[in-house]
Chain A
Amino acid sequence: MTEKLVIIGNGMAPGRMLEHLFEQVPGRYQVTIFNAEPRVNYDRIMLSPVLSGEKAFEEIIIHGDGWYIANGITLYKGHKIVAIDRTAKTVTSDHGVTEPYDKLVIATGSVPFIIPVPGHDLPGVLTYRDLDDVQAMLLAAQSRAKAVVIGGGLLGLEAAAGLNSQGMDVTVLHVMPTLMERQLDPAAGYLLQRAVEQRGIKVITKANTQAITGKGKVEQVELADGTIIPATLVVMAVGIRPNAALAKEAGIAVNRGIVVDAGMRSNDPDIYALGECAEVNGQVYGLVAPLYEMARVAASQLAGNEAAAFVHMDTPTKLKVTGIELFSLGDFAEGEDRQEIVLRDAAAGVYKRLVLRDDRIIGTVLYGETADGAWFNDLKKKQTDISQMRDTLIFGQSYQGGASLDPMAAVAALPDDAEICGCNGVCKGKISGAITAKGLTSLDDVRAHTKASASCGSCTGLVEKLMVLTIGDKYNPAAVQPMCGCTTLGHDEVRRLIKAKGLKTIPAVMQELEWTTSCGCAKCRPALNYYLVCDWPDEYADDYQSRFINERVHANIQKDGTYSVVPRMWGGVTNAAELRAIADVVDKFEIPMVKVTGGQRIDMLGIRKENLPAVWADLGQAGFVSGHAYAKGLRTVKTCVGSDWCRFGTQDSTGFGVRIEKFMWGSWTPAKVKMAVSGCPRNCAEATCKDVGVICVDSGYEIHFAGAAGLDIKGTEVLGLVKTEDEALEHIVALTQMYREQGRYLERIYKWAKRIGIAEIKRQIMDDGEKRRAYFDRFVFSQKFAQVDPWSERVSGKDKHEFRPMASVGFAQAAE
């Protein structure tokens, strides 16, 4: 018989507990989760990369909606539990849902500590705890104004670095003399401060915040010494305390946190607590490794193993700020019974300190170079006597016994029980065992099977080395396909970093993202040029030397080096004057081939490059503009004759096609975009194999997308049905803009849609009106700079050099 398990809270600890539980006793419990946050379970340690723009929220989700469905879990999103009735064994949410339980797990996490200074409740004062905080900070950062972060600990510094990379002017206030004093000794704290300041973040230590002031919102922060710091955003990151109020009200024993025994059980035998809200053996925890250990214990207990017990462990601290390497572990206070070994390399910015007692490591601080952290951690955990290697200990593992300084050898030399992943407590033997036993060849596989490197990711390098050691060449490190040989970054990372770091030129991208070539290659330069055009439509100056020849000269190069010219014929509609002008141009320039294209227009082939401007001039006289038949951009909108002529037509498909084309021409996209509008389901315009297609029906407009009829053949997916032409236009434009912002260069809509998920696209375009309009508005803004006919520009003299030879030489000589 299934028992009812109710969980209050949906953070990382209960998520992990359920994974263990389903593995051990599948089907035993019917699970219901109440989550005060309106979303699924995500990797909270990765919020800092989301804030800095290095990751998207989607990338840090641990359990997507599908996981809850697959495991039969009822998840109440946005439900806060307001009461636990221990007699009736029920919980009740603020939305009035009451749920009975057999076993209850409280995982309410922690609440940020707010310094009770005057003004702490002004709008603009935030904490740094969940995705809502991050989103509020990102919103505030758009103003590029000043921010103050109160608290120079782990969270405060990560928040400061994130806001700084979002373009804000950031000051960190720290009440102690050095940063992160709980994890770092003063020397390392000083080095850290210098590195933080080098990024343009101001740091004030010994800063005692006295008040936050402003009229109706934050304007400044005042310190006890009279210093005044202007700010429109204040982030308080001064610490957390267990969120145990609910348990206390229910009469459960609470000290600092909810008091539980080593089996994570509270004084009510049917109620467990785990995570940051729990207090075990007098300790509360905030780092993920002990929380995951609690999850393991609680799962075993719920599965019936009453021997499972939580054991205290020290956990290394790492700062997740790109470019700052920092590792600290254990106890490093000075004392009479302790000795220390210190290594300073000022030039390299390296500082290492080991604190020893009785020839055993009890504390480690590594700054600037942290590769030996795992080894020191291992020595400490095992209480290894280091007297034999004392002289060289600080130089790290690879130095011992005269071994080479090869990092591979260092990993090879680690014992099987050395911990590789601190977050998940995974040791070397478990990883190499899983690789061999299950034939794992990619990092993602190893993450899925062992959890190693699946949380904060800082051990990824070690795991990869271990994979190489275990399976050699079979390891496929390119889980993310790099854009090209000039970088190790994939398209998505590059796009995100362009936005996050505000990179607005190709050289800036290459400099900041550490391109390995001096000026890129023919693969990355056009991609970067597109990303910059798309992201900064008003600021970026299009780099023509980074465009493929067709887009540079606005015609299609042919195999013999001549070009083809396709003028726009809106919706495939033309008239006698236009046809006559085309005929005249064909005669005048002796164009050898004229052809009707698949997109309902006329192609003139075999034109010499020098003649292009003259051809365009004549076509322009007749009112033609460029058809962008060469562009990674909007090509054609194919139409049928619709309700004006056709006896079956339900709407004015021709008119709507023309309207779409006139609205959207000139826009650049990741790859070409072809559209069509059919006036009835007979679909004469073949709209159901286009990038975007519309099928008109009596009740409105059925919007289709993600079709293909080229290398691949694929029918479209239905986005949805809308009633009016205006709505249809808004949806199509928003869809295109979403694709413009997310697509990888040369990735057609159907491939992008497959990657993102049809459901997600529907959700953003059909269901989320606010999002749809925001996409629409961004497209319209970008069109202000895009709808310039490139042909008429060149007829009036732009890029003359493109079309003329530099010189003609030597002909007289040859005649001799």
Chain B
Amino acid sequence: MMNWVSIGSISDIPRRGARCVATPQGKIAVFRTADDQVFAIEDHCPHKGGPLSQGIVHGAAVTCPLHNWVISLETGKALGADEGAVRTVPVRFEGERLFIALEALASRAA
């Protein structure tokens, strides 16, 4: 079952920035790109667990603030020579409102 949970409005997130959503499974980082695409991924770099939400957002990717791994927001995979991936979380718009699929996260976490 997909459980879509409202997390706020797209305008809550700065362009080329991110905000966190606290969930029972840990923090989800929700990103907004320069061209208003929104992505949600686990806020946990596959390298050493750095908070990806604190990184610099460029294109559809984020650079982790701890050791500069670059993570694709679309796939959750590390780009370049690094290997690893974080879980992605489905995002949906209802007008300005943003929803993420929480169950999907829970089931994959299980």
Chain A residues engaging chain B, CB cutoff 8 angstroms:
517-522, 525-526, 544-550, 552-553, 557, 559, 561, 801, 805-811, 813-814
Residues of A within 8 A of B95 (CB): none
A809 and B5 within 8 A (CB) = yes
Residues of A within 8 A of B17 (CB): 545
Give A83 to B70 CA distance when docked, in angstroms.
Answer: 70
Contact between B7 and A806, CB atoms less than 8 A apart: yes
- Cα of A7 to Cα of B63 in the assembled complex, Å: 59
Minimum Cβ distance to chain B for residue A731 (Å):
36
Q: Is the CB of B58 within 8 A of A525?
A: yes
A813 touches B65 (CB 8 A): no
Which residues of chain B come closer than 8 Å to A553, judged between CB atoms?
54
8 closest A-B pairs by CB: A522-B63, A814-B24, A806-B19, A545-B16, A808-B22, A522-B56, A549-B54, A807-B7
Q: What's the least CB distance linking A510 to chain B, in Å?
A: 11
Residue of A with least CB distance to B68: A522
B63 near A809 with CB under 8 A, answer no
Given A525-B58, A548-B56, 12 further pairs, Cβ under 8 A: A518-B35, A518-B59, A519-B33, A519-B59, A521-B56, A522-B70, A545-B14, A545-B15, A545-B16, A806-B30, A807-B7, A807-B22
Residues of chain A lying within 8 A (CB to CB) of residue B56 = 521-522, 525-526, 545-549
When distances are taken between beta carbons in the complex, the residues of chain A under 8 Å from B20 are 805-806
Quick check: is B108 within 8 A (CB to CB) of the other chain?
A: no
CA distance A522 to B70 in the complex (A): 9
Give the Cβ gap from A551 to chain B, nearest Cβ, in Å: 11
| B102 contacts chain A at the CB level, 8 A cutoff | yes
A806-B50 contact, Cβ under 8 Å, with A521-B58, A549-B55, A811-B24: no
Q: Determine which of B30, B57, B68 lies in contact with A545 in the assembled complex, contact meaning CB atoms within 8 Å.
A: B57
Structural contact, A517 and B58, CB atoms closer than 8 A? yes
Q: Is the CB of A559 within 8 A of B66?
A: yes
> With A and B bound together, what is the CA distance between A517 and B34 in angstroms?
12
- Which of B20, B22, B58 lies at the interface centre, i.e. has the most chain A CB atoms within 10 A of its CB? B58
Complex interface: chain B residues within 8 A of A814 (CB): 24, 106
Q: A801: which of B14, B16, B33, B54 is its contact (CB, 8 Å)?
A: B14
**A544–B15 alpha-carbon span in the complex (Å):** 11
Asked if B12 and A801 sit within 8 Å, CB to CB, the answer is yes
Distance of A552 Cα from B54 Cα, bound (Å): 9
Identify the closest chain B residue to A545 (Cβ). B16
Known: A519-B58, A522-B58, A557-B54. A806 touches B8 (CB 8 A): yes
A427 to B30, alpha carbons, bound, how many Å? 59
Which residues in B have some Cβ–Cβ distance to A below 8 Å?
A: 3, 5-8, 12-17, 19-25, 27, 30, 33-35, 48-51, 54-59, 63, 65-66, 68, 70, 100, 102, 106
Is B12 within 8 A of A813, CB to CB?
no
Give the residues in chain A near B16, CB-CB below 8 Å.
519, 545-546
Q: How far is the CA of A651 from the CA of B26 in the complex (A)?
A: 56
Q: Which residues of B contact A806 (CB under 8 A)?
A: 7-8, 12-13, 19-21, 30
B54 with A517: CB separation less than 8 A: no
| Complex interface: chain B residues within 8 A of A813 (CB) | 3, 24, 102
Asked whether, in the complex, the Cβ of B34 is within 8 Å of the Cβ of A519, the reply is: yes
A561 to B55, CA, bound (A): 11
Q: Are B24 and A801 in contact (CB under 8 A)?
A: no
Report Cα–Cα, A522/B64, bound state, in Å.
9
Q: What chain B residues lie within 8 Å of A518 (beta carbons)?
A: 34-35, 59
Task: Tell me, in angstroms, the Cα distance from A542 to B13 when the chains sit together.
Answer: 18
Cα distance A553–B53 when bound, in Å? 13
- Give the docked Cα–Cα distance between A141 and B22 (Å): 55
Give chain A nearest CB distance to B20 CB in angstroms.
Answer: 5
Question: Could you pull out 16 A-B pairs where Cβ atoms are within 8 angstroms?
Answer: A518-B35, A518-B59, A519-B33, A520-B58, A521-B56, A546-B16, A550-B65, A557-B54, A801-B13, A805-B19, A805-B27, A807-B7, A808-B22, A808-B23, A810-B102, A811-B23
Please tell me if the beta carbons of A548 and B65 are within 8 angstroms of each other in the complex. yes
Minimal Cβ-Cβ distance residue in B for A552: B54
The answer to whether A809 touches B21, judged by C-beta atoms less than 8 angstroms apart, is yes
| Docked-complex contact B48 and A559, CB < 8 angstroms | yes
Bound-complex Cα distance A526 to B65 (A): 13
Contact between B14 and A521 (Cβ–Cβ < 8 Å)?
A: no
**Nearest CB on A from B69, distance (A):** 10
Complex interface: chain B residues within 8 A of A808 (CB): 21-23
* Nearest CB in chain B: distance from A513 CB, A: 16
A526 CA to B17 CA in the complex, in Å?
14
**Bound Cα distance from A801 to B10, whole angstroms:** 12
Bound complex: CA A549 to CA B53 (Å): 10
Contact B19 A801 (CB under 8 A): yes
B residues near A525, Cβ cutoff 8 Å: 56, 58
Cβ contacts under 8 Å, B55 to chain A: 522, 549
Residue of A nearest to B99 (CB): A809
Known pairs A526-B56, A559-B48; A809 contacts B23 (CB<8 A)? yes
Q: In angstroms, how far is the closest chain B Cβ from the Cβ of A350?
A: 34
Q: Shortest distance in angstroms between B78's beta carbon and chain A's nearest beta carbon?
A: 14
A550, A806, A808 — which one has the most chain B CB atoms within 10 A of its CB?
A806
A685 to chain B, nearest CB (A): 32
Complex CA–CA separation, A808 to B19 (angstroms): 11
Chain A residues, Cβ within 8 Å of B58: 517, 519-522, 525
A363, chain B: closest CB distance, angstroms: 49
Q: Are B65 and A809 in contact (CB under 8 A)?
A: no
